[in-house]
Amino acid sequence: MKKNFLRFVERLTNQVNELLTFIASLIEDDLFDRTKNLKKSLRFVMVWLGLVIITFVLLFIQFIDLNNYFQTIRFVPGGVLSLGLSGTYTNSNPLFATSSVDSSVSKLLYASLFTYNQKNQLVGDLASGYQIKNHGQQYIVKLRPNLLWSNGLPLTARDVVFTYNLIKNPDVGSALSNSFSGVSVKALNNSTVEFNLPNQLASFVYSLTNGIVPENLLKNVPPVDLRSDNFSTFQPVGSGPFKWQTININGSNPLNSQAEISLVANPNYFLGQPKIKQLIIKTYPNNNLLTAAFNSNQVNVALNLQSDRIKNLSQVYQYNFLFTAGTYLFFKNNVAPFNNPRIRQALELATNVQSLINRLGFPTHQVFGPLLVGQLAYNSKFNEASYNPTEAIKILTSLGYKFGAKHFLYLKGQLLSFSVNLTNTPLNHLIFDQLKSDYKLIGVKIMPNFEDLNEFAITLQYHQYQSLINSISIGVDPDEFVYWDGSQANPQLLNSLNFSEYNNSSADRSLETARITLNQAVRIIKYAHFLADWQKDVPAIGLFQPGYTLDAHFPIKNILEKDINSTSDIFNNINQWEVKRSMVTN
């Protein structure tokens, strides 16, 4: 096609030259032979000059049209993506990266043994595959060949063993340590790693999605100093799609400082160098500042903006994601009024989840219980009770409650009320307003305790609440043990995740069996028993799957709108993203 185009241009040029030669000969014949009549000659010259100009204009227009025909705007490798994130940057080391900002930076710099594909299925990243042996207590992981760090040095099984031994080391203080308690790991050779578990755990391989760090750069760093070491903050070296270039931080207060981190495409990335040449990450202390930066084009891409605050929203490209997580209203089951399961059942009947979802402003799915729709063992017959405020009032009045002042329910002069703790965000204000309206309809009063992120973290850690609105990550392969097993209900446990302090021995037995068996049919049966107990006890009320958005001032090719398990999963295939467009000859 390109050769044909060049031949056409050559023929067109020859035709133009012939036409100009012909015009010149006519001018010569008619101009100089007619000097006796200068007035007529000038008129003739002007006519022919006009014809020449018109000819050139027509030829130029034709050339442009043909050029447009043979060329189109296409995505090409290169370009710079300026990404805005809300929060503060503290650490990119995957052993410590837990916040949205830190985990996003870490994901871009470090590869993991396993990751998730476009269907949110677990697939190999650094790993080419794995085997399960010894009745589910041994996992053998094989690495891809010829893996390199971004500095060009080889990545081997020794680095993998080093990483997980660091995670297990209490002096390191990694948030991942609980997942590898009692797990031993060793290198069988340069490309094979063996994990030995103290007990069977069907979902173990799903925990191998953290980044791997290099032994040669960190072996001499005291474990207790690793979090603050320059490697973790300002000089990271990974094996992910991008490599570290520079960082600039404005502001001395970590709570409101702004960072600008420059990353460049990693030429040693095992899946090939990313299409995007450079990635500039800019952090902002809060969502309002991030939105202002996006509206003023200080960043051309931003995560999780509020749509109603975006200027010219119709001209913005928005990509939507759903977490494999659930947002719940958790009741602390052992404190009044929630120590009575009938009250929890009434509140479930009174919660108009569909009305709430209609107000959210982003696409999502309702959460009907501890498992998400479509997950292993999900069964609609164990769904939460449908909205029925009339039935809710019947339950409460059968317990002796009567309507009194301001249409609230009272029992022996005591108002039926409770408080709910939640982070101070526009979304949570909307959720609370919906619940307040729903429960006022049946005579129950609720009071909010809105908290900032630091306050809320303490509230979660020490279970200092009556009830709680929070989201929990369920993941692809559900292991519900940490959220609902009675052994996890003790708030004295460090970071206990059984927020309802739910304790049911029958449910515990089902959960404990389901998490260790590799037989999916058996797991489904055991989860069915657990779901039946959960449906009857109503330790919490499922609301919706939390959503996440990426907003851009231009289209991004190959970005995948899919279910994600964490914020950083948005970048699982960023090596394939394209943002630069240019005229290309067909």
- Cβ of 148: how many Cβ atoms within 10 Å? 15
d(CA 201, CA 207): 11
| pLDDT mean across residues, the chain | 89
Q: What confidence tens digit (pLDDT) does each residue in 450-473 have?
A: 998 889 989 998 999 999 999 999
Reply yes or no on whether the pLDDT at 236 is more than 80. yes
d(CA 312, CA 439): 37
Residues 467 and 420 sit within 8 Å (Cβ to Cβ): yes
Residue 274 is which amino acid?
P
Mean of pLDDT values over 367-378: 94
- The pLDDT value given to residue 5: 47
The token duo for 151 is 């500095």
Residue 193 is which amino acid?
V
Tokens 């797990």 map to which residue?
183
d(CA 123, CA 569): 13
What are the phi and psi torsion angles at 247 (to 5°)?
Answer: -145, 140
- The pLDDT value given to residue 53: 80
Q: 80-321+550-561+570-585 has which CATH code?
A: 3.40.190.10
Domain extent listing, the chain: 2-75, 80-321+550-561+570-585, 325-544
d(CA 448, CA 433): 10
Sign of CA dihedral 125, 127, 129, 131: negative
Tokens 């959460």 map to which residue?
367
Mean of pLDDT values over 238-266: 90
Among 83-92, 156-165, 439-448, where is mean pLDDT lowest? 83-92
DSSP lists the bridge partners of residue 195 as: 139, 185
Identify the CA nearest to 476 among candidates 384, 576, 378, 362.
378
**Full-model pTM:** 0.81
Reply yes or no on whether the pLDDT at 234 is more than 50. yes
DSSP lists the bridge partners of residue 194 as: 140, 186
> Sorting pLDDT into bands at 50, 70 and 90, what band is 219?
very high
Three-state SS for 468?
A: strand
d(CA 273, CA 241): 7
What are the phi and psi torsion angles at 479 (to 5°)?
Answer: -120, 100
> Please, where are the H alpha helices in 234-369?
287-295, 341-350, 353-360
d(CA 314, CA 173): 46
Taking the CA atoms of residue 330, residue 333, residue 339 and residue 340 in that order, the dihedral angle to the nearest 10 degrees is 60
> Sorting pLDDT into bands at 50, 70 and 90, what band is 377?
very high
d(CA 535, CA 344): 11
Query: DSSP secondary structure string, 19-42?
Result: HHHHHHHHHHHHHHTTTTSHHHHH
Reply yes or no on whether the pLDDT at 35 is more than 80. no
Q: What confidence tens digit (pLDDT) does each residue in 58-117 have?
A: 666 665 565 555 567 888 999 999 999 998 999 999 999 988 999 999 999 999 999 999
Mean of pLDDT values over 293-309: 91
Identify the CA nearest to 328 among candidates 541, 566, 545.
541
Identify the CA nearest to 207 among candidates 87, 370, 94.
94
CATH fold for domain 325-544: Dipeptide-binding Protein; domain 3 (3.10.105)
Three-state SS for 160?
A: helix
> Please, where are the H alpha helices in 200-262?
215-218, 230-233
Let me know if the fold of 80-321+550-561+570-585 is the same as that of 325-544.
Answer: no
Identify the CA nearest to 363 among candidates 541, 558, 562.
562
Q: Report which secondary-structure segment, H or E, holds 250.
A: strand 242-250
Integer Rg of the chain from CA: 32
The token duo for 63 is 């050339």
Residues 88 and 259 sit within 8 Å (Cβ to Cβ): yes
Mean of pLDDT values over 392-420: 96
- The pLDDT value given to residue 286: 87
d(CA 530, CA 279): 46
- The pLDDT value given to residue 477: 86
| Helix axis angle, 353-360 to 426-441, nearest 10° | 150
Mean of pLDDT values over 146-164: 98
Q: Report which secondary-structure segment, H or E, holds 3.
A: helix 2-32
Mean of pLDDT values over 228-241: 96
d(CA 59, CA 223): 73
d(CA 209, CA 240): 13
- The pLDDT value given to residue 29: 55
- Burial of residue 140 (number of CB atoms within 10 Å: 0-12, 13-18, 19+): middle
